[in-house]
Amino acid sequence: MSDDLKRKIIEFIREEYLEDDSMELKDDTPLISSGIVDSFSMVSLKMYLEVELGIKMTDEEASTEAFDSVNSILELVRKKLAEKK
Amino acid sequence: MAYTSAVREQFRNTLKEVEEAGLYKDERYICSEQGVEIVVEYPRGSKPMKVLNFCANNYLGLSSHPDVTAAAQKGLEERGYGMSSVRFICGTQDLHNKLEKRVAEYLGKEDAILFSSCFDANAAIFEVLFDEKDVLLNDRLIHASLIDGIRLCSAQRDSYKNADCAHLEKKLEMWKPRARNICIVTDGVFSMDGILAPLDKIADLADRYGAMVLVDDSHATGFIGKTGRGTPEHFGVMDRIDIITTTLGKALGGASGGVVAGPREVTEMLRNRGRPYLFSNAVPPPIISAALRVIDLVSETTKLRDKLEWNARYFREKMDAAGFRLVPGETPIVPVMLGDAKLANDMARELLQEGIYVIGFSHPVVPMGKARIRVQLSAAHEKEHIDKAVDAFIKVGKKLGVIR
């Protein structure tokens, strides 16, 4: 599940945000602080996660820090999934 | 006094970080009027030198045009320097109303409203027109003022990839069932790349999904389109764009002032609820008077925009032939792509020594790794000015290894 989840998130980020297919995207690549994802377009990612995983994140939880890398997104998503159980 | 030495130190450290990141905005002092040939003091304290200006938004060369300065002078003499008030108290003159009517007519809209700047216009509009039931879909490269305006508003927001209508359509599909009103927000010309938003396709999508379209045409009004009416005219969709925001601070005289043009209800809502409108002094008489003359000039003939078009094409052809990597396009904004921020700044500095004033742009103004020098052509440039600029680019480009 975890690997599958990570793959889905990476695929979404690639398709939604990366202008250049050859761009490297590691688990700790800064997304927001490096300008790959701006604070407006972050909405798409939040919505994708909420719809795909059936979770709900408050604006405070969906902070720029929490969305700044694949790793930090995974951490938040795992927390939300655990709360759901 | 709470501005302690610790606070001072904190701010100094921040400035140092900005400088170390190569992002410090080192201003050059212009010791002459704004025009093609300007006198610049740079570095500070050095002897001012005459250079050719290739980085102003003076697209039609009207910033210091004799007719325009004479009109400003007339406005100053007849109506004074400032209004000393906001519009709804005692800051509205008949001339404000006259200019709003002229601009609306020029842009093919029902009505128009003036702001101190287009930044103010963009800061005002979203909060007034949209709330949490609505969705704003913006191009990812829109101007900072639109972003700030959207931030001030409670509407839901999302963005689409630059000028990518397939991506925009996906967003429209997704948001359509979730919104009362959807408004697509885009620049007409993207100021860092000089490319045009595909307004014909955007208007088609807007029709299909029942969305409004708002275009900031600041880098287009006066010179894009066959008669200079901007990107809506260029794409043949003047009657299909709902709201245009634009500036008097670029092609239209270059002083200051912003405009929202659109349906009368929109301008009336802004007159009643637009915070930057309600709480800012009225645009001063010399600017209103000069702007009226500018609208005459750009309405009477297309001579200036035609010359600008020729200048931009000529510069692009010459630079392309010299081997520089340009963002392809047809506007007078010509980005010379360099990639590296330091290289862009070094090249701009060397070009200044060759008598050509341009500026290097780097992150966060442009995406990381896409540093460039943005060259802006003007109708006031003559062929020999452009030749001199191209020669300087070739000389410096070879020295810095940008071209062979």
Q: Which of B147, B157, B363 faces A43 most closely, judged by CB atoms?
A: B157
* B161 touching A (Cβ < 8 Å): yes
More reliable by pLDDT, A10 or B237: B237
**What pLDDT sits at residue A43?**
85
**In which band, very low, low, confident or very high, does the pLDDT at A1 lie, cut at 50, 70 and 90?**
low
Q: Which of B147, B158, B363 faces A43 most closely, judged by CB atoms?
A: B158
**What pLDDT sits at residue B329?**
94
* Residues B100/B102/B104/B107 CA torsion (nearest 10 deg): -140
Contact B181, B130 (CB under 8 A): yes
Query: Which residue does chain A place closest to B148, by CA atoms?
Result: A40
Find chain B residues with C-beta within 8 A of A40's C-beta. 138, 140, 147, 150, 157-159
The owner of tokens 């060259």 is B375
Token digits of residue A83: 């709360």
The active-site residue, picked from B96, B143, B219, B307, is B219
Contact B49, B29 (CB under 8 A): no
Whole-model pTM: value is: 0.93
| Distance to chain B for A81, nearest Cα, Å | 24
Give CA–CA dist B58/B381, Å, rounded.
Answer: 10
Can you list the residues of chain B whose pLDDT is less than 70?
Answer: none
Give the DSSP letter of residue B178: G
**What pLDDT sits at residue B24?**
81
Query: Which residue does chain A place closest to B363, by CA atoms?
Result: A35
More reliable by pLDDT, A21 or B288: B288
Query: Which residue does chain A place closest to B163, by CA atoms?
Result: A19
Find chain A residues with C-beta within 8 A of B367's C-beta. 19, 35
**What pLDDT sits at residue A59?**
83
| A53 pLDDT higher than 90 | no
Residue B366 CB contacts under 8 Å (≥ 6 apart), including other chains? B192, B372
Indicate yes or no: CB of B159 within 8 angstroms of CB of A34. Answer: no
Q: Which of A34, A35, A40 faces B157 most closely, judged by CB atoms?
A: A40
Dmax over CA atoms of chain A, in Å, equals: 38
Phi, psi dihedrals of residue B351, rounded to the nearest 5°: -65, -35
Residue B404 CB contacts under 8 Å (≥ 6 apart), including other chains? B323, B398
Measured in residues, chain B has a length of 404
Is B250 designated active site? yes
Give CA–CA dist A29/A14, Å, rounded.
Answer: 12
The per-residue DSSP string of B18-81 comes to HHHTT----PPEE-S-SSSEEEEE-STTSPPEEEEE-S-S-TTS-TT-HHHHHHHHHHHHHH-S
Residue B249 C-alpha from the chain's centroid: 8
| Distance to chain A for B158, nearest Cα, Å | 5
Indicate yes or no: CB of B140 within 8 angstroms of CB of A40. Answer: yes
Work out the average pLDDT over A68-75.
92
The secondary element (H helix, E strand) that includes residue B338 is: strand B333-339
Give CA–CA dist B305/B117, Å, rounded.
Answer: 23
Closest by CA position to B82, among listed B292, B290, B287, B293:
B287
β-pair partners for B230: none
Residue B350 CB burial class (10 angstroms; 0-12, 13-18, ≥19): middle
**What pLDDT sits at residue B224?**
98
